[in-house]
Structure 1
Amino acid sequence: MQLDPSFIWTAFWQLLGAIPTTLSITAVSVLAGFVIGAATAMLRMYRVPVLAQIASAYVTFIRGTPMLTHLLIIYFGLPMIIDGLAEHFGWSFRSVSIPMIGFAYISFSITAGAYMSEVVRAGILAVDRGQVEAAQSVGMTTFQSLRRIVFPQALAAALPNLANSVIGMLHGSTLAFAVSVVDINAKAQIVASTNWKFFEAYLAAALIFWGLTVLIERVAALIEKRVGAYNRGGVV
């Protein structure tokens, strides 16, 4: 077998069309996962009765099982639940109405939420407890101190881990092919199947993923720099 450099270029251009799908899966899972993770972290840190135990079990289970398993459980289990409820209550909506990418959104968001909860929790713990006590001493409520004092500093402290989570979800999005979602990696397999030049196609996919990863790292570094300058009083 000989390397075909020209096909790498050909595959590269054909794979560009799958980038929006990969980015949408990454963006939805990260944003939804951050919301889920923040809520889960707060429930655990403030030890809300019952909910804290449920949140801990959720984090433990998701972090202890593979991402692909989550996707397959959602893909096969969610339709059973939806169709069962629809039949019981007489709803017209059925699981077949859910697009395949929807299962990836739901599954990856749940997965990201568990990991994001640890990122958020670590960021909050990095904030000096004395600042919270000082905020409460001047009349701020718990919510106000969290919103004005804790969360901004926690977000700044968690930025490196958040960037790693985004990159992890970008790479994890390749698992969406298991439920027939055509992302970059799946598109590479389709392109290569026409002439069996899988090495060249996957090499082109690797270059695209590498480029996206570098872009995320650069954006994260820029945000860190801006946040650091703001905390030092260098940005008005």
Structure 2
Amino acid sequence: MKLDPSFIWTAFWQLLSAIPITLLITVVSVVVGFVIGIVVALIRIYKVPVLHPIAVAYVTFIRGTPMLTHLLLIYFGLPLIVDALAVKMGWSFRSSSIPMIGFAYISFSITSGAYMAEVIRSGLLAVNRGQLEAAYSIGMTTTQGLRRIVFPQALAASLPNLSNSVIGMLHGSTLAFTVSVVDINAKAQIVASTNWKFFEAYLAAAAIFWGLTFLIERLTAVIEKRIHVYHRGGVA
């Protein structure tokens, strides 16, 4: 078996068409997961009755089980729930109407939410509680204090970990092929199946993932720089 450098280039160009799907899965999962993470983090910090133990159990279970397991549980379990509710409520909607990528969105968002919750919680706890007390002293409500004072500082403290979470979701999106979603890795397998040059195809896929990861890291560095300038009172 000889390496075929020309096919790496050929595969690279063919794999570019799968980048939008991979990015879409990543962006949706990160955005929805971030929202879930904020809610769960606040529930845990303020120990909201009833919801607090549920939030703890959610984070513990998701972080303690593989991402692929979450996807398979959603893929096989969600249709049972949807169809049972449809029969009970008289809906015409059935689980067969859910697109395959929908299972990836739901599963990865749930997974992302648990990890984001811990990142956000650590960021919020890193902000001195006196900041919120100072907000109260000038007449702000808790919501205003969190939004205007605490969250911006927590975001700055959490940015490196948030960046790692985004990269983790980008790489984790490759699991979507198990539910027939054609992402970059799945496309590589399809491209290589015509001539069995899997090594070359996956080298091309690795190059694309490295490039996307590098862009995320550079974007994070730019954001960090602007945040630090802002905190120093400079002009970005």
Alpha-carbon offset, residue 231 of structure 1: 1.1
What is the CA deviation profile of residues 119-167 of structure 1, one whole-angstrom value per residue up to 9, with x for unaligned ones? 0001101111111111112211111110111001101111100000000
Aligned to 1:223: 223
Instruction: Write out the 4+ residue segments of structure 1 that deviate beyond 4 Å after TM superposition.
Output: none
Q: Which whole-Å CA distance do the structure 2 matches of 1:105 and 1:230 have between them?
A: 35
Q: State the SS of the aligned residue for 1:149.
A: helix
TM-score after normalising by structure 1: 0.99
Q: Which whole-Å CA distance do the structure 1 matches of 2:78 and 2:234 have between them?
A: 50
Q: Which runs of 5+ in 1 are unaligned?
A: none
Q: Residue 80 in 1 paired to residue 80 in 2?
A: yes
Alpha-carbon offset, residue 178 of structure 1: 0.5
* Aligned positions of 1:26-45 closer than 5 A: 26-45=26-45
* Aligned positions of 1:54-133 closer than 5 A: 54-133=54-133
Q: Residue 15 in 1 paired to residue 15 in 2?
A: yes
Aligned to 1:148: 148
Q: Which whole-Å CA distance do the structure 1 matches of 2:49 and 2:37 have between them?
A: 18
Alpha-carbon offset, residue 89 of structure 1: 1.1
- The size of the alignment, in residue pairs, is 236
Q: Which whole-Å CA distance do the structure 1 matches of 2:17 and 2:144 have between them?
A: 45
Moved more, 131-140 or 217-226: 131-140
Q: What residue identity is the alignment partner of 1:40?
A: V
Q: State the SS of the aligned residue for 1:182.
A: coil
Q: Which runs of 5+ in 2 are unaligned?
A: none
Q: Residue 176 in 1 paired to residue 176 in 2?
A: yes
Q: State the SS of the aligned residue for 1:145.
A: helix
Q: What residue identity is the alignment partner of 2:90?
A: G
Q: Which whole-Å CA distance do the structure 2 matches of 1:85 and 1:164 have between them?
A: 38
What is the CA deviation profile of residues 157-197 of structure 1, one whole-angstrom value per residue up to 9, with x for unaligned ones? 11100000000000000000010000000100111111000
Q: Which whole-Å CA distance do the structure 1 matches of 2:216 and 2:139 have between them?
A: 40
Q: Which whole-Å CA distance do the structure 2 matches of 1:9 and 1:211 have between them?
A: 15
Q: What residue identity is the alignment partner of 2:91?
A: W
Alpha-carbon offset, residue 103 of structure 1: 0.2
- The share of aligned pairs that are identical, in percent, is 79
RMSD: 0.7
Aligned to 1:53: 53
Moved more, 138-147 or 164-173: 138-147
Q: What residue identity is the alignment partner of 1:190?
A: I
Q: What residue identity is the alignment partner of 1:90?
A: G
Q: Which whole-Å CA distance do the structure 1 matches of 2:14 and 2:119 have between them?
A: 36
Q: Which whole-Å CA distance do the structure 2 matches of 1:118 and 1:89 have between them?
A: 37
Aligned to 2:160: 160
Moved more, 124-133 or 101-110: 124-133
Q: What residue identity is the alignment partner of 2:13?
A: W
Moved more, 131-140 or 97-106: 131-140
